[in-house]
Amino acid sequence: MKSKKSIGFIGAGAMAEALIKGLLKSEVYHPSQIHISDIRADRLEELKESYGIETSRANQDLVKRVDYLILAVKPKVIPIVLKQIGEDISKSQKLFSLAAGVNTVLLEKYLKEEVAVIRLMPNTPALIGEGAIAYCLGTAAQDDSKLVEQIFGTVGRTLKVEEELMDAVTGLSGSGPAYIYLIIEALADAGVNVGLSRDDALSLVLQTIIGSAKMVLELGAHPGQLKDMVTSPGGTTITGLKVLEREGVRSALYQAVEAATIKSKELRGEK
């Protein structure tokens, strides 16, 4: 169903573009309903030419023209932007933030009215419509889950969580693609090491990861159960798994997620 609402993005980075592509592909929003502002005139012109959307160099002007406002800027820029526009955002609008580590209390502090605030943590696979998008709702946004799905479901799967878990989300799915890319690269290198060509090794790794993830999703089985299906007594798989456990791969992933979660808290001055 077509939406009659307008959406504005402050910040014209890759995530904003991914959402614009998803919204237009869904056909719920027309290009004329999507507005974007940024300090880079060349970037705005590029997006206007690519998608036919409305652009602006002034954040205050954009705020006056939209129903839903999406902050797609770096966490350190959030206070600067909200000092500019906080008093211009009315309770009839919705405010979404994609900034890691910036909680709803901080966002609400800059607003003069009780505005519905939604904090989200998408990850980069949203660029191809396969993102993991966790979100939490501010005090005035408790009935907005359906709206979040309508907008952000266009670029992946949405999941509502309590706000105290958003740092954990950042450490797991927010940073997670980088962990997976590292694993892909390492497995492909390992394939080359045992004699496969680079292209063949990468192709096999990619399909193995895609197929394994789909089995978990579609069969609904625990990953450990599926792992056991591949692992014959005294066979090749258990031999490889023994090495992974010995070298601390599982422990390294635990520590990576924990460290990234802590860093998310540090971004707003928490320990």
Is residue 10 a known part of a binding site?
yes
Q: What is the pLDDT of residues 61-89, one digit of tens each?
A: 999 999 999 999 998 899 999 999 999 99
Pairing mode of beta strands 94-97, 116-121: parallel
Is residue 213 a known part of a binding site?
no
SS3 content of the chain, % helix, strand, coil (to 5): 60, 15, 30
pLDDT at 122: 94
Measured CA to CA, the distance from residue 222 to residue 88 in angstroms comes to 49
Is residue 1 a known part of a binding site?
no
Is residue 190 a known part of a binding site?
no
Is residue 221 a known part of a binding site?
no
Instruction: Place 271 in a pLDDT band, splitting at 50, 70 and 90.
Output: low
Domain limits of the chain?
7-165, 175-268
Which CATH code for domain 175-268?
1.10.3730.10
What is the value of pTM for the model shown?
0.90
Is residue 73 a known part of a binding site?
yes
Is residue 240 a known part of a binding site?
no
Is residue 140 a known part of a binding site?
no
Contact 184, 208 (CB under 8 A): no
Measured CA to CA, the distance from residue 12 to residue 14 in angstroms comes to 7
Contact 33, 3 (CB under 8 A): yes
**CATH superfamily label, 7-165:** NAD(P)-binding Rossmann-like Domain (3.40.50.720)
H-helix or E-strand spanning residue 160: strand 156-160
Q: What is the pLDDT of residues 132-153, one digit of tens each?
A: 999 999 999 999 999 999 999 9
Query: What does pLDDT average to over the chain?
Result: 94
Q: For the CA atoms of the chain, what is the radius of gyration?
A: 21
Q: What is the pLDDT of residues 183-213, one digit of tens each?
A: 999 999 999 999 999 999 999 999 999 999 9
Is residue 59 a known part of a binding site?
yes
Is residue 12 a known part of a binding site?
yes
Is residue 14 a known part of a binding site?
yes
Measured CA to CA, the distance from residue 68 to residue 155 in angstroms comes to 17
